[in-house]
């Protein structure tokens, strides 16, 4: 196994080894992405830090600002960010294709 893969595995394990949104777990590390919880604060690409030869503790500090997502959920998050829709618990395995249950009018029912 390449050193880079080992570092990613360690990072994935650090964040719980499963997708924070849908709970998806797999041994295939390529499925996992690191998503910054706060988009604008000191954003550094985790994938860059994993590839670059930074110390684990520095990497860990960035990981503390991130959640682990599978590729599907990561795309959904970015789609929502792109459209300025607040994340409200959508996930890629919310039932068996009952996407229609969640209204696209996000927040409409909130007081
Ligand atoms: Zn997911």
Return the domain boundaries, the chain.
Answer: 3-93
Distance 41 CA to ligand 1 centre (A): 23
Q: In CATH terms, is domain 3-93 a member of 3.40.1800?
A: yes
Quote the percentage of the chain above a pLDDT of 90: 51
pLDDT tens digits along 67-82: 999 999 999 998 988 8
Distance 64 CA to ligand 1 centre (A): 19
Tell me the two tokens of residue 43: 């954003």
Mean pLDDT value across residues 16-43? 88
Asked if the model's pLDDT at residue 101 lies above 80, the reply is no
**pTM of the shown model:** 0.72
Question: Residue 107, Cα to own-chain centre: how many angstroms?
Answer: 22
90 burial type by CB count under 10 A (0-12 exposed, 13-18 middle, 19+ buried): middle
Distance 37 CA to ligand 1 centre (A): 15
Distance 45 CA to ligand 1 centre (A): 19
């Amino acid at each position: 196994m390449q050193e880079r893969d080992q570092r990613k595995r360690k990072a994935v394990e650090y964040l719980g080894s499963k997708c924070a949104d849908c709970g998806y777990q797999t041994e295939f590390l390529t499925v996992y992405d690191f998503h910054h919880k706060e988009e604008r604060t000191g954003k550094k690409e985790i994938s860059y830090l994993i590839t670059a030869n930074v110390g684990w503790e520095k990497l860990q500090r960035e990981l503390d600002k991130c959640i682990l997502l599978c590729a599907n959920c990561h795309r959904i998050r970015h789609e929502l960010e792109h459209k300025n829709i607040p994340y409200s618990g959508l996930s890629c395995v919310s039932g068996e294709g009952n996407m229609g249950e969640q209204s696209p009018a996000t927040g409409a029912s909130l007081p």
